[in-house]
């Protein structure tokens, strides 16, 4: 008979204590009854993954075992154990093969889907372009693209399609950083293609295998993938048609320098794959977070006013720069709190152990799958009192320290999000410039959006907000 997890409170785990008593090998954590195959558990997860995991956590505790034939999966919602898994045991883990196969249909063999030495080589080569110092060089580009986009927003609109507007803006920003080029008329096509591909990928996660994309009923996905490939390939070919001395200093040029230095390790296909991942991950995660941030601002006018006052006081009507971003701490807190409430990746890609590992009191065999529900930890009242409330002061310097592992919107360990510094800078620049120009409020008749997971966390319906002039301090 399984016994419930007896994990200690993360606030006191480092205190001296006797060694953790280990359960014998072969004993699994508690979990829901699986029946003959456990596939009914998978069916329930496919309908509402986040709600289902929250219910199981409430019933069985922070570590839950799912027997879904032929797999054993362990859901880890204990902050210390989640961090231990991703940091201490990182060399014993690979990402879930099925999930990687699904992602590779669009991302190719980029750093997002690579494993082992291939991943280490790509990560090492790409790291300098996404370091905090390298990110600073892109702030002016982000601000310029944002200023041009916001100039096209209406001064006053009771139902502005804020989600579509932010998606177009972040596409423009990433294309400027990557290709020194504009999204132009491709914005609507790309936005639709990404929605189709994301929904298809999320559905395929719950099947052991996919029908080939040439199947007649997958026409929409085929067209969406073709549209995305065409977008990336056109920009790549345009760059290659220019003389080398005419190449701008952007992300594509840095990738092509890798190709020039080591063409066997970085063929043009590898460059193209990294471009696709940078475009998709670089705009989608930022757009999703900004949409939720806008909702939090609109539904919390006092926090919005405080963030605007800070931006106006610090920026004095000018665009943010790399030097002024650190002087916007409250605005940064609103973004961090948004990422707590609505983590763009609420469940990390599952990991599989390549050897037996000990996690807390559990001795788990090789090939165990691990699921890490970030959102459950972000919404746990033990670590975040009143977890459903929007309280940016949680991240103030004087606030109580959050247990390590309880907040990780970008993941943690060696596979922490490569673009986290760039995303943070981009979101801060865009948020500051929006507040300089506009007041956001909930549109009349708008209900609170329901978060749904289609690879990233988005509202169940396209979000509209009321926008009005901010008053003073507009550039």
379-428 residue pLDDT tens: 999 999 999 999 999 999 999 999 999 999 999 999 999 999 999 999 99
Peptide bond before residue 70 is cis, with ω within 30 degrees of 0: yes
Q: Is the pLDDT of residue 189 over 90?
A: no
Place of tokens 């069985």: 60
| pLDDT at 181 (0 to 100) | 83
Residue 31 lies in a domain: no
d(CA 365, CA 327) in angstroms, rounded, equals: 49
Instruction: Give me the chain's average pLDDT, please.
Output: 89
Length of the chain: 475
More confident residue, 434 or 221: 434
Q: Is the pLDDT of residue 16 over 60?
A: no
Cα–Cα distances (Å) from 391 to 175, 362, 399, in that order, read 33, 35, 11
46-102 residue pLDDT tens: 889 999 999 999 999 999 999 998 999 999 999 999 999 999 999 999 988 888 888
The string of DSSP letters for 269-319 reads HHHHHHHHHHHHHHHHHHHHHHHHHHHHHHT-HHHHHHHHHHHHHHHTTSP
Q: In this predicted structure, which of 174-188, 239-253, 295-309 has the lowest mean pLDDT?
A: 174-188
In this structure, are residues 141 and 282 in contact, taking their beta carbons and an 8 Å threshold? no
330-372 residue pLDDT tens: 999 999 999 999 999 999 889 999 999 999 999 999 999 999 9
Residues of the chain with pLDDT > 90: what percent?
Answer: 65
More confident residue, 219 or 473: 219
More confident residue, 204 or 159: 159
Nearest Cα to Cα of residue 344 among 434, 251, 420: 420
Q: How many CB atoms lie within 10 A of CB 154?
A: 11
Work out the average pLDDT over 108-129: 91
Residue 10 lies in a domain: no
Work out the average pLDDT over 245-262: 92
What is the domain extent for residue 378? 39-469
d(CA 107, CA 122) in angstroms, rounded, equals: 14
| pLDDT at 211 (0 to 100) | 65
The string of DSSP letters for 408-469 reads -TT--STTS-TTHHHHHHHHHHHHHHHHHHEEEEEPTTPPPPPEEEESEEEESS---EEEEE
d(CA 274, CA 291) in angstroms, rounded, equals: 25
Residue 34 lies in a domain: no
Pairing verdict, β 369-372 and 357-359? unpaired
Residue 56 lies in a domain: yes
| pLDDT at 1 (0 to 100) | 38
Confidence of residue 200 (pLDDT cuts 50, 70, 90): confident
Q: Is the pLDDT of residue 6 over 50?
A: no
Residue 126 lies in a domain: yes
Sign of the dihedral defined by the CA atoms of residues 128, 132, 133, 137, in that order? positive
445-471 residue pLDDT tens: 888 999 988 778 999 999 999 999 996
| pLDDT at 253 (0 to 100) | 93
Number of domains in the chain: 1
Work out the average pLDDT over 285-293: 95
Residue 197 lies in a domain: yes
More confident residue, 377 or 221: 377
The enclosing domain of 456 has a CATH number of 1.10.630.10
Residue 417 labeled ligand binder: yes
First to last CA, the chain: 66
Residue 12 lies in a domain: no
Backbone angles phi and psi of 102, in degrees to 5: -65, -45
The burial class, CB within 10 Å (0-12 / 13-18 / 19+), for 128 is exposed
Highest mean pLDDT: which range of 10-24, 276-290, 306-320: 306-320
Residue 171 lies in a domain: yes
């Amino acid at each position: 008979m399984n016994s419930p997890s007896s994990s200690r409170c993360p606030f006191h785990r480092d205190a001296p204590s006797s060694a953790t008593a280990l359960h014998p090998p072969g004993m699994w954590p508690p979990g829901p009854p699986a029946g003959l195959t456990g596939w009914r558990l998978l069916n329930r997860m496919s309908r509402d993954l986040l709600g289902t995991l929250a219910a199981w956590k409430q019933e069985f505790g922070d570590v839950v075992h799912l027997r879904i034939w032929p797999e054993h999966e362990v859901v880890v919602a204990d902050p210390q154990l989640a961090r231990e898994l991703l940091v201490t045991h990182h060399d014993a883990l690979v990402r879930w093969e099925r999930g990687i196969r699904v992602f590779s249909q669009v991302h190719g063999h980029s750093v997002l889907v690579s494993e082992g030495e291939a991943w280490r080589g790509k990560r090492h080569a790409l790291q300098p372009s996404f370091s905090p110092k390298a990110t600073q060089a892109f702030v002016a580009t982000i601000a310029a693209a944002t200023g041009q986009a916001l100039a096209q927003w209406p001064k006053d609109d009771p139902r502005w399609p804020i989600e579509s507007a932010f998606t177009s803006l972040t596409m423009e920003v990433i294309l400027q950083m990557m290709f020194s080029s504009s999204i132009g008329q491709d914005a609507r096509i790309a936005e639709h293609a990404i929605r189709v591909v994301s929904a298809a990928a999320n559905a395929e996660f719950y099947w052991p295998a996919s029908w080939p994309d040439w199947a007649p009923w997958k026409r929409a996905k085929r067209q969406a993938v073709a549209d995305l490939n065409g977008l990336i390939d056109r920009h790549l070919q345009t760059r290659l048609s220019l003389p080398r001395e005419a190449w701008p200093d952007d992300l594509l040029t840095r990738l092509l320098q890798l190709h020039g230095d080591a063409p066997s390790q970085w063929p043009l296909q590898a460059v193209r794959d990294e471009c696709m991942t940078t475009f998709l991950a670089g705009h989608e995660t930022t757009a999703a977070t900004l949409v939720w941030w806008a909702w939090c601002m609109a539904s919390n006018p006092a926090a919005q006013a405080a963030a605007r006052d800070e931006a106006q006081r610090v920026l004095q009507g000018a665009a943010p720069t790399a030097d002024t971003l650190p002087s916007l701490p409250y605005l940064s807190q609103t973004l961090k709190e948004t990422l707590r409430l609505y983590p763009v990746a609420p469940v990390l890609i599952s990991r599989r152990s390549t050897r037996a590992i000990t996690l807390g009191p559990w001795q788990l065999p090789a090939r165990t799958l691990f699921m890490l529900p970030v959102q459950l930890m972000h919404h746990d009242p033990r670590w975040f009192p009143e977890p459903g409330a929007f309280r940016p002061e949680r991240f103030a310097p004087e606030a109580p320290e959050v247990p390590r592992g309880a907040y990780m919107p970008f993941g943690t360990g060696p596979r922490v999000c490569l673009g986290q510094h760039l995303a943070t800078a981009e979101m801060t620049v865009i948020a500051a410039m929006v507040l300089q120009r506009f007041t956001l409020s909930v549109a009349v008749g708008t209900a609170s959006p329901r978060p749904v997971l289609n690879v990233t966390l988005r509202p169940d319906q396209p979000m509209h907000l009321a926008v009005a002039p901010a008053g003073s301090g507009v550039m």
